[in-house]
Amino acid sequence: MPATDLLSDIRIADMTTVIFGPYCTQTLADMGADVVKLEPKGGDDFRNVGKPANNKGMGPCHLTINRGKRSVVWDLKSDAGMAAIRKLIQQSDVFIHNIRPDAVKRLGLTFEEVKAIKPDIVYVHCLGFGSDGPYSGRPAYDDLIQALSGATSLLPRVDGNEAPRFLPTAFADKVSGLHAVHATLAALHHRDRTGEAVHVEVPMLECVTSFLFEEHFYEAAFDPPIGPHCYQRQVDSSRQPVRTQDGWIVIAPYVDHRWVTLFDVIGAPEELEDERISDYRGRFFNHAYMMSRVQAHFVNFTTEELLKMLSDADIPAANATDISEVQDDPHLKAVNFFQRREHPSEGGYWEVQPPVKFSGMAPRDIRPAPRVGEHTEEVLAELGLAREPVRK
């Protein structure tokens, strides 16, 4: 699905790096915003993650998370560089950065200073910890936030291995980035209603803790608590993919009558004669035993056979797909979710399309990820500045 022009009248001055902020601005760029990304001379560090195809600074992660943006390189230690960023802010709707508070003060780009440049600016600060707490100003990375939010304690609850472990994706960065998206849009709405500048703090620890505690506060949400933390269904060691004759499958019967149907479908209704799972209450409290009986029968069928049988019986199920095979999923192929494109300098590459559709929006192609400073002269000309200030 090509990008839309929903935000085509919005310009964003972007001084974010790595994943958290850039994921936010990539999403806004997909919706049509003009994102001008200010980078150091060597580029955002995330440009060099993974093996570049041709040119330094165009690694695979950069191709995905910085698509749709324009890149400029200005030296903010110079008068010309500061004049350029101030002029860009003056002509922007949003200024977003992930600079630590002490450093942003030294640059002269605090909220009050930026508001003096653009009185109705939406000022979005992507930071690790809220400014009112004792962790304010500390450096923050996805690993640290996963640890502090309790995320690293979840897998041990599932498999019994007591060692804390990371969830194997930069989920803290990306969850916080999505919070930054909706916060930016809400602030723009308020700006449009009132004409006022809005200061937005998007702290990673608070975002991720909120995300996890939606269900994992669980029975500890009551005071006094009536049970433990963690929604038990999510940390149930028996609620995992099941081995088939030739692979793995995930089932989600969820409502009780589907469990009864499931045993009929696999030709084992006699299993439900066992008093441990003979009624709803037994099946609820003896889920681990019930899944062990499902496993005993599933190995007699291929994944394809089971998917057909379960689909015919209206029992939700899916193949447990390896990430290297997701691109071949027939649904994702049908909706053109992965599209091959040609980058001006890097050649062919695959691009994941924006997942959200908006009706009635004229489609447009997504701008490919920029080379370092590729649009410096272009943006300076738009700002009416002739000299090129280079950021070191």
Strand, coil or helix: what is 338? Answer: strand
The answer to whether the CB of 346 falls within 8 A of the CB of 53 is yes
Token pair 């002739």: residue:
386
Q: Which amino acid is at 310?
A: L
Task: Provide the percentage of residues in the chain whose pLDDT is more than 70.
Answer: 97
The answer to whether the CB of 145 falls within 8 A of the CB of 210 is no
* pLDDT of 368 strictly over 70: yes
The answer to whether the CB of 4 falls within 8 A of the CB of 31 is yes
Q: Can you give the pLDDT at residue 2?
A: 57
Higher pLDDT, 365 or 350: 350
Quick one: average pLDDT of 94-109? 95
On the question of a cis peptide bond just before residue 224, with omega within 30 degrees of 0, the verdict is yes
The answer to whether the CB of 198 falls within 8 A of the CB of 38 is no
Quick one: average pLDDT of 325-335? 96
Spatial CA neighbour of 104 closest among 75, 76, 81, 80? 76
Any idea what the Cα angle at residue 93 is, between residues 91 and 98, rounded to 5°? 105
Q: Can you give the pLDDT at residue 58?
A: 85
Residue 141 CA: distances (Å) to CA of 48, 195, 233: 17, 35, 29
Backbone angles phi, psi at 181, to 5 degrees: -60, -55
* pLDDT of 386 strictly over 50: yes
Q: Can you give the pLDDT at residue 141?
A: 96
Lowest mean pLDDT among 193-202, 241-250, 281-290, 355-364: 355-364
The per-residue pLDDT of the chain, averaged, comes to: 93
* pLDDT of 296 strictly over 70: yes
Interhelix angle 79-90/376-383, nearest 10 degrees:
70
The model's pLDDT over 39-98, given as tens digits with 9 standing for 90+, comes to: 999 899 999 888 777 776 789 999 999 999 999 999 999 999 999 999 999 999 999 999
Q: Can you give the pLDDT at residue 388?
A: 55
C-alpha to C-alpha distance for 218 and 210, rounded to whole angstroms: 13
Residue 74 CA: distances (Å) to CA of 36, 37, 181: 12, 10, 26
**Residue environment code for 28-57, b if the CB has 16+ CB neighbours within 10 A, otherwise e:** bbbbbbbbbbbbbeebbebbbeeebeeeeb
The model's pLDDT over 238-269, given as tens digits with 9 standing for 90+, comes to: 999 999 999 999 999 989 999 999 999 999 99
Q: Can you give the pLDDT at residue 389?
A: 47
The model's pLDDT over 188-220, given as tens digits with 9 standing for 90+, comes to: 999 999 999 999 999 999 999 999 999 999 999
Spatial CA neighbour of 22 closest among 53, 46, 52? 46
The answer to whether the CB of 370 falls within 8 A of the CB of 66 is yes
Q: Can you give the pLDDT at residue 258?
A: 96
For the chain, which domains are there?
11-212+334-383 (3.40.50.10540), 242-319 (3.30.1540.10)
Long-range contact set of residues 374-383: C-beta below 8 Å, sequence gap at least 24: 374/70, 374/71, 375/36, 375/70, 375/71, 375/72, 376/71, 376/72, 376/73, 376/74, 378/70, 379/36, 379/70, 379/72, 379/88, 380/72, 380/84, 382/91, 383/84, 383/87, 383/88, 383/91
